[in-house]
Structure 1
Amino acid sequence: MKKFIYSLFICSSAFVGSLNALEFGYMGNQAFGMGGSGVGVAHSPFSAYYNPALQSVDKGFKIGYSLGVRLKENNLSELSKIPLSSIADINALNNILQDNSMTMTSENGVALQIPIFLGPSLSSSIGIGLFYTKRGSVNFTGNITSGTDINSATNAYIITNGLDIVELPLSYAIRISSAVGHFHIGASAKYIFAQHSLVSEKFSDNTVISDSITKAFSASGGVSTNTYGIDIGLAYSLPLDVFVIGVVGKNLNSPDINTSGIDGLKLDSQYRLGISTKVIPMTTIALDVDLKPNIEFKGLGNGMPKDKVQYVSLGGMFNAGIFDFRLGVAKNILKGDEGWLISGGLGFTFIDISIFSNTNLVKINNVKMPSEFGVKIGGGFSF
């Protein structure tokens, strides 16, 4: 079984490419490399995603793209230690089967920002984007009542979920200048297409884990939804962006998503506050805080607990014009044993790479690896 769990972790990394309020995402490379801080940071093509009001903080033309994948393991390292053909402690196995997951999230997008000048004290900007988030989860479930061989159990299953969400936002922001600073108001109306699939299979010691991963990430059927979402953002900035503060509410209408199982899915609203400063030349320092908990995606129809997440992130960026360098940290303040997320990025205009890793290490098949890690490539330019 150890090699099967190990193959689950490794094979999932080959795929590029809860629930209620899904956790705040990491669209674009800039925020990803700064610990996720983006709600108060201007000068990003992905302002329409993080806070539409930021489009009018920086009035330039922008275009950007980003592709990436994140992986997260929960309790599978413990499951890999149990010989499933000769189970010594049924209670220990059952405890793991009540809460485990491998989740995979691929966030990909392109964004365009176009400035519109209205006068000396008024200006605005239009944003257009295409954001595609693909989620997959694999869970081992069951309650073994007797016996020492998983193959003889009648209620042990592997549950795989696939959830695709495509967003097409059209955003608008206006900037009102005054003697005490600039005030920014922005909103996004976005078309949402979602598709969910769920597959349940018998769990045995001979299970081919890679097949479950493939089903989670390449599901072509499932139940579809066509709906819409509303995001609203506010921001205040001082000249030269010496100080920027922003707040955003996403999915304020809480759209419903049809699912393949008995569990329902509603994209509840998300609220986040962001602050940034450029008081140091060529440097941006930013802080983001989730204003309410969200629910971590661990699949549907699997009986797994709905873990709450609420992140605080701190990031910095040094921008020398021809390149920029980013570092960041983030922490889920509701679950201290997850460790810290450490991120970084290096960009050269149209070529950019960002990575992050959890400080919480787990051992799978005698190999230590972070319980969560991710990578993104992307780029963009502005003028």
Structure 2
Amino acid sequence: MMKRSVIAAFAILSLCKSGYALEFQAVGDGALGVGGAGVARSDGAMSPYWNPAGLAFAKKTVSVSLTAAAGLKPEKKLAEDIDNLSTTYKAWNNNQSNTTAINNLANAVANVSASDNLRVTANTALGAQVKQFGFGVFGTFEGGAVPHTVPVDTTNPPGSITTSLNNDYVTTRGIALVEAPISYGYLLDVGKLGHVGLGITGKYLYGEVTSENPKIFNNGTVLSSKDLTKDLSRNRNGSSSWGIDLGVMWKPEALLPIPVTVGLIGKNLNAPSFSAKNGDKFNVDPQIRAGVAAEFASWLDVVADIDVIKNTTVVPGLKSQLLGGGAEFHPFQSLKLRVGGYTDLSESGGAVTAGLSVGAPMIYLDIDGAYGLGTVKYDNHSYPSEAKVQCSLNLAF
């Protein structure tokens, strides 16, 4: 009976293997510092987000966590391209008969690739765990932009060039998703195979979405990289839905020489959807993620997560499949140090991560960050290709 329950849980998750979803964000629990891994290591207040099965192995009677994070990912150089367009357009607009100015503008438009994009993420959450139950409010935001341009024919007169430029635009899309979950984790003793936790989450969802197509050139004005992020918060449309998550967590125990945990989570299995004011539909389709955690020593844990399926993002045509992991060192009860990294298997890019926890066993602070190794320009200033920071305040009793 117990084995059948475990097999059934994995079977339900596997039904979603062809689904797509928003990017899986690292929310609280020090996960960002270890490469965004949390599916097999969360057993407290953040379990309703990461894996409700972790509640079956809760170490504390009560835990509470408040977290907030923000990130910018301009690595595909859309922001740099838009600023170049702004500079060259202003030069051409001041002297439309100048051959050099015309050629510079045409080259700037030609350098804009359909694969260029800009992405913004943020999250904030208040999670709580009481024995094997979890609840809270978890909010995530994902926004992005992608360009659509037409080549400039430099042999045309200025009026025709202006008409051509008026066809250039950027698609900006964003979704702010708030989840209010109630989760439960149930522990199964599977004999020599160790222990298995089964978790379920039912949640109320509120989503605010925006979808716009602002022109790059419009009546003598030109879009800037700053305008891209501003457009992500305009003309929002809110609506409600509901979602269901299922999770599994397995601790083989005596089968292995060191403590190991394996986890699997399926989020938003019912594929809720929301609509923008212009009628565009946002599907929050299933996310499937697997994770593993191993305790190599009393002071060293190593963890890793991978998206089992590719997730779509709010950027049209762009997918995400993250692989990340890291190590957490805890030489003292009052101090934890984290290091890791992640990469996107669907797109180029990735980041190194680090973090620390300081405090007492009952109250402690997490600070984590991610830093892209490349360099890009935003608002004519140089920035890392990706940057994220996250802080969490935690209580445990």
Smaller-chain TM-score bracket: 0.7 to 0.9
SS at match of 2:230: helix
1:149-202, Cα deviation, whole Å (9 max, x unpaired) = 775522123443332111001000011235422111001011111111233333
Q: How does 1:16-95 map to 2 (within 5 A)?
A: 20-60=20-60, 61-73=62-74, 74-76=76-78, 77-82=80-85, 83-84=88-89, 85=92, 86-88=101-103, 90=106, 93-94=109-110
Aligned to 2:318: 307
- AA at the equivalent of 1:322: S
SS at match of 2:31: helix
Aligned to 1:134: 141
Unpaired runs of 5+ residues, structure 1, are 1-18, 116-124, 299-303
Counterparts of 1:365 and 1:200 in 2: how far apart (Å)? 20
Counterparts of 1:366 and 1:109 in 2: how far apart (Å)? 33
- What is the Cα deviation at residue 315 of structure 1? 1.3
**Contact 1:33-1:356 within 8 A present in 2 as well:** yes
What TM-score do the two structures reach when normalised by structure 2? 0.79
Counterparts of 1:159 and 1:291 in 2: how far apart (Å)? 28
**Contact 1:29-1:376 within 8 A present in 2 as well:** no
Counterparts of 1:210 and 1:79 in 2: how far apart (Å)? 10
- AA at the equivalent of 2:272: P
Counterpart pick for 1:330 among 342, 360, 363: 342
**Contact 2:208-2:237 within 8 A present in 1 as well:** yes
Number of matched residues?
Answer: 346
SS at match of 1:192: strand
- AA at the equivalent of 1:88: N
Aligned to 2:296: 279
Aligned to 1:162: 174
Inter-CA distance 49–364: structure 2 relative to 1 (3 Å threshold): closer
SS at match of 1:201: coil
Are 2:353 and 1:343 equivalent residues in the alignment? yes
**Contact 1:68-1:106 within 8 A present in 2 as well:** yes
Counterparts of 1:239 and 1:209 in 2: how far apart (Å)? 52
**Contact 2:122-2:142 within 8 A present in 1 as well:** yes
**Contact 2:29-2:46 within 8 A present in 1 as well:** no
SS at match of 2:182: strand
Are 2:122 and 1:106 equivalent residues in the alignment? yes
> How well do the aligned residues superpose, as a CA RMSD in angstroms?
2.7
- AA at the equivalent of 1:176: L
Counterparts of 2:227 and 2:381 in 1: how far apart (Å)? 23
- What is the Cα deviation at residue 43 of structure 1? 4.2
SS at match of 1:278: strand
What TM-score do the two structures reach when normalised by structure 1? 0.82
Counterparts of 1:49 and 1:87 in 2: how far apart (Å)? 52
Aligned to 1:369: 383
- What is the Cα deviation at residue 64 of structure 1? 0.5
Inter-CA distance 21–178: structure 2 relative to 1 (3 Å threshold): closer
**Contact 1:29-1:377 within 8 A present in 2 as well:** no
Counterparts of 1:141 and 1:323 in 2: how far apart (Å)? 49
Counterparts of 2:137 and 2:378 in 1: how far apart (Å)? 37
Aligned to 1:14: none
Unpaired runs of 5+ residues, structure 2, are 1-18, 93-100
Aligned to 2:5: none
**Contact 2:109-2:152 within 8 A present in 1 as well:** no
**Contact 1:161-1:197 within 8 A present in 2 as well:** yes
Aligned to 1:188: 201
SS at match of 2:135: strand
Counterparts of 2:198 and 2:27 in 1: how far apart (Å)? 21
Inter-CA distance 145–368: structure 2 relative to 1 (3 Å threshold): closer
Counterparts of 1:296 and 1:44 in 2: how far apart (Å)? 28
- AA at the equivalent of 2:318: D
Inter-CA distance 158–272: structure 2 relative to 1 (3 Å threshold): closer
**Contact 1:39-1:273 within 8 A present in 2 as well:** yes
Q: How does 1:179-328 map to 2 (within 5 A)?
A: 179-180=191-192, 181-204=194-217, 206-207=222-223, 209-217=225-233, 219=234, 221-238=235-252, 242-298=259-315, 304=316, 306-319=317-330, 320-328=332-340
* Higher fraction of helix: 2
1:264-292, Cα deviation, whole Å (9 max, x unpaired) = 32111111111101131122111111111
